[in-house]
């Protein structure tokens, strides 16, 4: 063994009893030498025994450096017993597992956690319990809210994610557990395989509530989610952001600009650096954001774009970041990141240290929408400029739910083979008549946009309810490419809040605020800034049927005539976070 590294011992299938007697199983990696060691815990729904990624690399490396590492299948998953109830089970099970780790003879009573996506959720939910042994966490590509920015966005079901996640990772990959507990049979496997292989068609053939390949017997949570389309008590009971002021756990947050959960990652950091009354807790938070999608963490490329070796472990060693974090909080060694925030600026393709998020020097700048009434397609007359709105014609298009605008990259998860996330060229989509394009003049100098982006849109519809989408695009100097950076959506009836549905009056103008998430991108000299506006982005989001009923249950589809207004009375505008250089 290299100097300073220890021989390790691995124990598999270790039973851990929860307070209700349910047995969850774990693997333990620890130094072979007797002694008491700090513990690092991962609680996962994705099969603890799968020998890839952090499931094997991090446990072995940490154990060699004097840590005991526990990798546990959560309740109802793989080798663990019980019924899987996503999110809702993780507070009490997390606390009980922390108790077990604390009580082991090889534990010194200090515990850290790690993992991404749902495994990040198990960390935040455990932190709500204030277990005295939980000393730090490293949640990656995860959220602060399992309604907004996870299952729904702007009140719209994130169907591409929820559908593919439920079919593949949550059901097909857990089939042996479901068969063992008489929830399904092997014959269901081929149905699921066929449905997954035919994405996105399988997500469009039926309303989400009636997809033949998902059944309440083996995926009850999916039906719970679509039966709670509004921000109600079901979701509020597990919302992390409601409790930021109570959490006392240091967190190293890791995310990606193209991750489906980027907004939640940033909200966790903002909440934990502004809400706790204990200033030391606020100072103990850290944030790393790279140019990655959900499945391309520490990769040189995402989507169709190559970001260079700086985006990989050559530019940032995330394994070492984990090690240093645990050494600091669990062993009183090493140093914290000198700067609390480290972001990757795309376009320039460099890492940069910052002292806060959002950046204190941000200049929020309004870019107004303009046209002569023909902003349809990228060759239309839509313009984007800092010149205030004046009296001008509205733009219009027809939204046909039978012919939705196809998704091209963006914040997608969790089946990248057929639903790849990240930045892709939007040029083909911009030829559609139902895609409005508002484009700036060529930039005379580099322009950095880093931070949160919002569109204030004034619009009307012929429908009782409909959706409006927005997308920020970086147009190349040659204008032969238009790279999507970030996007957003809003369901019209939730314009006043996702707990306050209010259908539209046909033809009446309303104000909609569309959250486009956040980015960090250097628009180069000669490039253009473009905003796309439409009413669909499928399969990333479910298709609104324009009927006023919940789309997940609607078998009827109507077209909707949409109008976008930009004048002195209705000044539609894009708010961009400009960073002075």
Residues involved in catalysis: 117, 259, 294
The set of residues, in sequence order, having a beta carbon less than 8 Å from that of 140 and lying 6+ positions away, is 114, 115, 116, 117, 120, 253, 254, 255, 297
Best CA proximity match to 358, nearest among 520, 240, 487, 513? 520
DSSP for 28-48, written as a single string: EEEESSSS-EEEEEEEESS-T
Collapse the DSSP code of 240 into the 3-class scheme (helix H, G, I; strand E, B; otherwise coil) and give the result: coil
Q: What is the CA radius of gyration of the chain?
A: 24
Order of strands, sheet of 341-345, starting from the edge strand that comes earlier in the sequence = 8-17, 23-31, 68-73, 37-44, 107-116, 134-140, 252-258, 286-293, 341-345, 350-354
Lookup result for tokens 């995330």:
318
Three-state secondary structure string covering 345-412: EECCCEEEEECCCCCCCCEEEEEEEECCCCCECCCCCCEEECCCCCCCCCEEEEECCCCCCECCCECC
Q: What angle do CA 96, 101, 104 make, to 5 degrees?
A: 125
Please, are residues 558 and 401 in contact by the beta-carbon 8 Å criterion? yes
d(CA 557, CA 33): 66
Best CA proximity match to 138, nearest among 354, 332, 285? 285
**Local structure of residue 544 (DSSP, 8 states):** P
d(CA 511, CA 456): 7
The pair of structure tokens assigned to 123 is 């960390």
Q: What angle do CA 73, 171, 554 make, to 5 degrees?
A: 135
d(CA 533, CA 565): 12
Please, are residues 269 and 150 in contact by the beta-carbon 8 Å criterion? no
Please, are residues 154 and 494 in contact by the beta-carbon 8 Å criterion? yes
64: enclosing H helix or E strand: helix 57-64
Cis upstream peptide for 539 (omega within 30°): yes
> Assign residue 78 a region: left if phi > 0, alpha if psi is -120 to 50, beta otherwise?
left
Please, are residues 353 and 287 in contact by the beta-carbon 8 Å criterion? no
Please, are residues 205 and 402 in contact by the beta-carbon 8 Å criterion? no
CB burial class (10 A; 0-12, 13-18, 19+) of residue 376?
buried
Please, are residues 254 and 318 in contact by the beta-carbon 8 Å criterion? yes
């Amino acid at each position: 063994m290299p100097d300073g590294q220890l021989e390790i011992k691995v124990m598999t299938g270790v039973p851990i009893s929860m307070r209700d007697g349910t047995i969850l199983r774990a693997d333990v990696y620890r130094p072979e030498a007797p002694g008491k060691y700090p513990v690092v815990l991962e609680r996962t729904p994705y099969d603890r025994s799968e020998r890839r990624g952090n499931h094997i690399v991090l446990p072995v490396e940490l154990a060699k450096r004097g840590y005991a590492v526990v990798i546990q299948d959560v309740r109802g998953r793989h080798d663990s017993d019980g019924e899987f109830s996503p999110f809702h089970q993780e507070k009490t099970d997390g606390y009980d597992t922390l108790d077990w780790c604390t009580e082991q003879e090889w534990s010194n009573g200090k515990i850290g956690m790690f993992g991404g996506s749902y495994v990040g959720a198990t960390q935040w939910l455990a932190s709500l319990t204030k277990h005295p042994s939980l000393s730090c966490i490293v949640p990656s590509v995860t959220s602060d809210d399992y309604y907004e920015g996870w299952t729904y966005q702007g009140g719209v079901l994130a169907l591409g994610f929820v559908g593919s996640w439920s079919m593949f990772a949550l059901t097909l990959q857990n089939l042996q557990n479901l068969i063992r507990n008489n929830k399904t049979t092997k014959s269901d496997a081929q149905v699921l395989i066929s449905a997954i292989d035919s994405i996105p068609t399988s997500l469009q053939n039926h309303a989400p509530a009636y997809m033949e390949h998902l059944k309440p017997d083996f995926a009850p949570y999916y039906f719970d989610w679509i039966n709670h389309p509004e921000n109600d008590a079901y979701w509020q009971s597990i919302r992390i952001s409601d409790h930021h002021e109570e959490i006392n756990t240091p967190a190293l947050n890791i995310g990606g600009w193209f991750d489906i959960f980027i907004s939640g990652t940033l909200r966790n950091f903002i909440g934990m650096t502004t809400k706790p009354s204990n200033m030391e807790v606020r100072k103990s938070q850290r944030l790393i954001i790279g140019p990655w999608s959900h499945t391309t963490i520490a990769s040189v490329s995402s989507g169709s774009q190559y970001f260079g070796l700086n985006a990989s472990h050559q530019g940032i060693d995330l394994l070492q970041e984990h090690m240093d974090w645990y050494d600091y909080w669990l062993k009183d060694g090493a140093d914290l990141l000198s700067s609390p925030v480290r972001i990757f600026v795309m376009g320039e393709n460099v890492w940069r240290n910052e002292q806060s998020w959002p950046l204190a020097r941000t200049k929020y700048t309004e870019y107004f929408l303009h046209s002569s009434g023909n902003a349809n397609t990228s060759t239309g007359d839509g313009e984007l400029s800092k010149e205030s709105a004046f009296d001008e014609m509205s733009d219009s298009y027809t939204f046909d739910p039978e012919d939705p605008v196809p998704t091209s990259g963006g914040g997608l998860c969790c089946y990248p083979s057929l639903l790849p996330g990240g930045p892709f060229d939007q040029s083909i989509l911009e030829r559609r008549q139902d895609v409005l394009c508002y484009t700036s003049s060529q930039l005379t100098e580099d322009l950095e946009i880093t931070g949160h982006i919002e569109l204030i849109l004034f619009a009307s519809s012929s429908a009782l309810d409909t959706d409006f989408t927005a997308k920020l695009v970086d147009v190349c100097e040659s204008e032969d490419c238009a790279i999507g950076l970030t996007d957003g959506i809003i369901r019209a009836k939730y314009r006043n809040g996702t707990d306050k549905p209010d259908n539209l009056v046909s033809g009446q103008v309303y104000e909609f605020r569309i959250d486009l998430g956040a980015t960090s991108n250097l628009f180069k000299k000669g490039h253009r800034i473009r905003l796309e506006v439409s009413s669909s982005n499928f399969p990333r989001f479910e298709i609104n049927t324009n009927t006023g009923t919940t789309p997940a249950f609607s078998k009827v589809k109507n077209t909707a005539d949409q109008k976008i207004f930009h004048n002195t009375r209705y000044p539609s505008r894009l708010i961009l976070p400009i960073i002075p250089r």
